Amino acid sequence: MINVIAIDDEPLALQLVTGYIEKTPSLKLIGSFDNPVDASDFLRDNHVDIIFLDIQMPDLSGIEFSRIIGKGPKIIFTTAFEKYAIEGYKLEVVDYLLKPFSYEEFLAAVNKAVRLIKLEDKALQKVEANDEFLFLKSDYKIKRINFNDILFIEGLKDYVKVHIQNNPRPLLSLSTLKQIETKLPAGKFMRVHRSFIVNLDKIDTIERSRIVFGKTYIPVSDQYKDKFQEFLDRNFL
């Protein structure tokens, strides 16, 4: 499913594009905004694949907004003015829809964005598995994460939070624990709970069947308790 938001200060224009999004099975509308400032706050905590973005808006234009967020979500400009086309292409936006645009034009732009997203995902998948690092899509960037820096990984439905040593804010990525578990080196990481994978080298304290990472207590569930106990027995003095 492709996560999409729409930003437009004109209610009718916003209603049109959100209607198109909602009738397209492959898209999921996760937010609509009448100003870029609220959308910017939303982007900090949510994964967005495509943004339908009006250009002429008060306080902050769509062009200014696209410069601020940089590369990440695929941007499709929606505007009533042709004069911004050149500026849009300089910013490497996916497409430029002139209002009023048809559903057919809308779908053509969506398909172009989806093709680019799939190409990027395919490029990531080509990176061979190794025992040192992995590449992770987070905050609209592709980041290299060294395994030695990972404390633990937390699963949140279709997302994971990767908690990094000496990094106060975890990295949020659209993935599942099952998917990321296949990329982790065997013997270094262990799943101890339905929602947690821990770096065995980073375990310092265990308290009442809970692994302690600073102020975070990770429970070892019954399903994984025997396997975790084997690890402790092998390394117990």
- Which CATH architecture fits 133-234? Beta Barrel (2.40)
Residue ranges of the chain that CATH labels 3.40.50.2300: 2-124
What confidence score (pLDDT) does residue 82 get? 66
Residue ranges of the chain that CATH labels 2.40.50.1020: 133-234
What confidence score (pLDDT) does residue 126 get? 58
Which CATH fold would you assign to the domain 2-124?
Rossmann fold (3.40.50)
Among 60, 160, 74, residue whose Cα is nearest residue 112: 74
Average predicted confidence (pLDDT) for the chain: 87
Q: What is the rounded distance in angstroms from the CA atom of residue 220 to the CA atom of residue 203?
A: 13
pLDDT at 99 over 80: yes
Q: Which helix (H) or strand (E) holds 207?
A: none
- Is there a contact between 54 and 61 (Cβ–Cβ < 8 Å)? no
Angle between helices 62-69 and 36-45 (to 10 degrees): 20
Task: Tell me which residue has tokens 């262990």.
Answer: 190
Q: pLDDT digit string (tens) for 154-212?
A: 998 778 999 999 888 899 988 888 888 888 887 899 999 999 999 999 999 999 889 99
Q: pLDDT digit string (tens) for 41-89?
A: 888 778 899 999 998 888 888 888 888 887 778 999 998 776 654 555 5
- pTM to 2 decimals? 0.59
Q: pLDDT digit string (tens) for 100-141?
A: 899 999 999 999 999 988 887 776 665 555 678 888 888 778
What confidence score (pLDDT) does residue 89 get? 52
What confidence score (pLDDT) does residue 84 get? 55
